[in-house]
């Protein structure tokens, strides 16, 4: 949510930002909320004036009673008795107007960083850098699901019976590899000075509204029936909300956190987009990184976090590229975002394995996360980035480490997490 001062002082800037995101239908919201805001400020002034009048009358009554002027005091007492009812009416009016203002403000997208490239959708995202040389073996690369099944590590038939499409059973050495990736990711981030967390996997609606846009909420979140609880789509949701309505002192910053969680997503209309297997699923596991910091430091941490993910995949010998999100592909709360994509030798293209985002003060305004510098309070900046999400990383390892015989070489950094195992082979 942007600062409404921007709309008061520079509405054209806000409108231009909306147009750059190709959300022209929202342009009219700027003038609409500006008018409502003007009404709310008048109503709030009326409330403040009436409270001031009440205080002055109370003081006058006290002075008159001390001076034993009871007759004059009685007139003021009669006048004072009328104020609470009038004040309540004005407060309710101002409250309703403020709710209308807030309902519109959460629909207006965050002001993008000037460096964000212009474009309508993901096809206009900009490749920044490739890291590692893509490998295309001379032999045929198995589909990751077929390979995992042949190695006794995946059962999609059983998961369809227990849970439906978009779920899976991992078994044996493939399940161990999956766990090894996540444990290594946790250790990798802890060694970089991030504090490890395991957060709640369920959050309340006021938290959901604080961490994401309504469009994302509808497309992603599973709601628990008859309860004010949602399953998280990423641990960022819980982790940022851990600072809900907190004021941090400068000496407490930055807050550099890494968290493990299971994640749950509807993935509406996503099935069949890639190919059979584990590309788009309703449940997966993830190691995330989160930073809450001074506004002046947020883009320094943006680069640090993005480079950490690249370094992580580089340590696994997985070729990746950095792909910056264009204006039309940038979620409403994000000021800047970059995807990390891994190489798929089977599809001969890159696919997303993580995303780094700077939301600046968008989430902190919604959740009231502030910093105190000893003189004043101001809003913090929040950032999030994927260290690794599996099974996406699992797919990348299986495809880039397949052998001609249909086995999987285990990356060296993961071997200690798998009891020294160097290869996953077919079971007799």
Q: Which residues pair with 169 in a beta bridge?
A: 155
Which regions of the chain carry the CATH code 1.10.287.40? 4-105
Model confidence, pTM: 0.89
Model confidence band, residue 104 (pLDDT cutoffs 50, 70, 90): very high
**Can you give the pLDDT at residue 397?**
96
Residue 176 CA, distance from chain mean position: 29
Q: What is the architecture, at CATH level 2, of domain 4-105?
A: Orthogonal Bundle (1.10)
**Can you give the pLDDT at residue 77?**
84
Q: Which residues pair with 202 in a beta bridge?
A: 231
Which regions of the chain carry the CATH code 3.30.930.10? 122-424
Cis amide prior to 254 (ω within 30 degrees): yes
Residue 318 CB contacts under 8 Å (≥ 6 apart), including other chains: 132, 342, 343, 393, 396, 397, 400
Say what the alpha-carbon torsion angle 293, 298, 303, 308 is, to the nearest 10 degrees.
20
User: Which tokens hold the place of 20?
Assistant: 């750059």
321's enclosing H/E stretch is strand 320-324
The whole-angstrom separation of Cα 226 and Cα 230 is: 11
pLDDT tens-place string over residues 398-424: 999 999 999 999 999 999 999 999 999
**Can you give the pLDDT at residue 268?**
61
Nearest by Cα to 127 from 279, 283, 281, 343: 343
**Under a CB-based contact definition with an 8 Å cutoff, are residues 315 and 268 in contact?**
no
pLDDT tens-place string over residues 308-349: 999 999 999 999 999 999 999 999 999 999 999 999 999 999
Q: Pick the range with the lowest mean pLDDT from 205-219, 282-296, 388-402.
A: 205-219
CATH 3.40.50.850 fits 122-424, yes or no: no
């Amino acid at each position: 949510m942007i600062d409404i001062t921007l709309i008061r002082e520079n509405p054209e800037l806000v409108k231009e930002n909306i147009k750059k995101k190709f959300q022209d239908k929202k342009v009219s919201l700027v003038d609409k909320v500006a008018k409502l805001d003007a009404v709310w400020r008048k109503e709030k002034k009326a409330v403040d004036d009436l409270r001031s009048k009440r205080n002055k009358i109370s003081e006058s009554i006290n002075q008159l009673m001390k001076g034993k002027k009871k007759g004059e005091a009685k007139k003021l007492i009669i006048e004072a008795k009328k104020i609470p009812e009038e004040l309540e009416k004005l407060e309710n009016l101002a409250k309703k107007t403020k709710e209308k203002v807030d309902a519109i403000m959460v629909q207006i997208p965050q002001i993008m960083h000037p460096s964000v490239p212009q474009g309508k959708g993901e096809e206009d995202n900009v490749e920044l850098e490739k890291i590692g040389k893509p490998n295309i073996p001379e032999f045929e690369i198995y589909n990751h699901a077929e390979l995992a099944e042949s190695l006794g590590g995946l059962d999609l038939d059983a998961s369809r019976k227990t849970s439906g499409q978009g779920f899976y059973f991992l078994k044996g050495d493939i399940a161990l590899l999956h766990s090894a990736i996540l444990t290594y990711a946790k250790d990798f981030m802890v060694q970089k000075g991030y504090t490890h967390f395991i957060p709640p996997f369920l959050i309340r609606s006021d938290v959901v509204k604080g961490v994401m846009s309504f469009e994302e909420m509808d497309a992603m979140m599973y709601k628990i029936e008859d309860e004010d609880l949602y399953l998280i789509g990423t641990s960022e949701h819980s982790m940022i909300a851990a600072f809900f309505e907190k004021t941090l002192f400068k000496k407490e910053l930055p807050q550099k956190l890494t968290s493990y969680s299971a994640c749950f997503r509807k993935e509406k209309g996503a099935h069949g987009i890639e190919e059979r297997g584990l590309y788009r699923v309703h449940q997966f596991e993830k190691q995330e990184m989160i930073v809450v910091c001074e506004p002046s430091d947020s883009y320094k941490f943006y680069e640090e976090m993005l480079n950490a993910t690249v370094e992580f995949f580089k340590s696994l010998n997985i070729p990746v590229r950095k792909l910056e999100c264009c204006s039309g592909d940038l979620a409403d709360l994000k000021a800047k975002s970059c995807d990390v994509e891994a190489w798929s030798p089977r599809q001969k293209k890159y696919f997303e394995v993580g995303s780094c985002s700077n939301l600046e003060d968008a989430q902190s305004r919604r959740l009231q996360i502030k910093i105190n510098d000893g003189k004043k309070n101001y809003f913090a900046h929040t950032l999030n980035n994927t260290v690794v999400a599996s099974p996406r990383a699992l797919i990348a390892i299986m495809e880039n480490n397949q052998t001609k015989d249909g086995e999987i070489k285990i990356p060296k950094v993961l071997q200690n997490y798998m009891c020294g195992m160097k290869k996953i082979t077919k079971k007799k």
